[in-house]
Amino acid sequence: MPPTASNALILQSGGCTPVLNRSLFGAAAEALSRQEIGAVYGARRGIEGLLKDDIIDLYLTSKPDWRRIARLPAAALGTTRHSPKPEEIPAILDCLKRLGVRFLFIIGGNDSAATGNNLAAAAQSAGQALSVVNIPKTIDNDLVLTDHTPGYGSAARFIALATLGAGLDAEAMSSAAPITFIEVMGRDAGWLAASAALAKRDERDAPHVLGLPEVPIEEDAFIGKVEEAYHRHGFCVAVIAENVRGPGGSVFGGDTAPLWEDAFGHKYFTSPTLHLARVAAKRLKVRVRDEKPGTIQRSFIPSLSIVDSKEAEEAGRAAVRRAIAGESSVIVTLVRQGDSPYRCTTGSAPLDKVANAVRRLPDDYIDRAGYFVTGKFLKYARPLIGPSLPAPTRFS
């Protein structure tokens, strides 16, 4: 190690993804290989680890362990949704200073971008040398200034496969349980719900109706679309985002107060899908299944996208290269270079432009009247989920 070497620290933050550990591996592997960096630390449970001095030396992790970690979902270091309070920042900076950390890498989404931006600004004000580079992640795909985010492709692949399977099940069980509603994650953006359409080959295939946060749901019209598909095909699958709202802006389900609000102010309500499924069952007088995969959407190992995994690692490696080159207060971005064949490189964007901002589905990706998506969305998303999905086959 040269005498000018400085130490690095990596932490994971926010909700888990299928490839969060692949970015951890990419950042650690790149940092451990660079002469400009000395020790490489990891903070357990993100910011909480810095506040509690719960730090590990990543150099001690064996290569076989790293290979296993890189292939697994969730967060090997542990993660957190803790938003550091102003009075906690000096303690965080003191921990980094005692460890000799010059490079801080935060793997996270838009909330984590705010954390990184605040820490970089505080370090600069205190005269502390600290380069902060965030590594993007979120299954919600809602970060601005990037084409897409690591984690989305794998979660989207799961949603597409789950919808395909649910459609075949509903079709086979049409005399007993012909309609299925599926509620998916995504917070306030419809990227994940939209991905349900990626396995659809023709009109008969699921999904038939999509509920997106970008489109206020007229209850009667939405159930009418479900009824129309049911009468045409003998079954119907509707996929609905967790925070769809009515024309008045309230989340479906009858409750105006959230069940839970996290440290970043994100509100979680009772299931809008359960409400809509009950309305459909009462109106159509058939059994309507209400499915809610939950965290399996971001942790189901067989649905890992090869494209997503490779890009997650490259995002981690790119963060280290940019920090060494002198960049700070930035987040790595994914820059699409082409679709035929699909090609993607990395760039960067200012943290203060990404922090707390939300990228929703653009209008030209949405068929508002049909409660569905357009071909433009399918062209955008299909390269991200990896190899082609199976095609439904029926007896003629």
Catalytic residues: 140
Distance CA 111, CA 354 (A): 9
Name the DSSP class of 245.
Answer: B
- DSSP three-state, residue 344: strand
Q: Residue 369 is which amino acid?
A: A
254, 253, 239, 251: which is closest to 291 by C-alpha? 239
End-to-end, the C-alpha distance of the chain in Å comes to: 69
68-69-74-77 Cα dihedral, nearest 10 degrees: 150
For 40, the 3-state DSSP assignment is strand
- Beta-carbon contacts of 320 under 8 Å, excluding residues fewer than 6 positions away, are 8, 27, 30, 31, 34, 37, 103, 105, 133
Tokens standing for 303? 């649905």
Look at the block and give the residue holding tokens 């960096």.
37
| Whether the Cβ atoms of residue 278 and residue 286 lie closer than 8 Å to each other | no
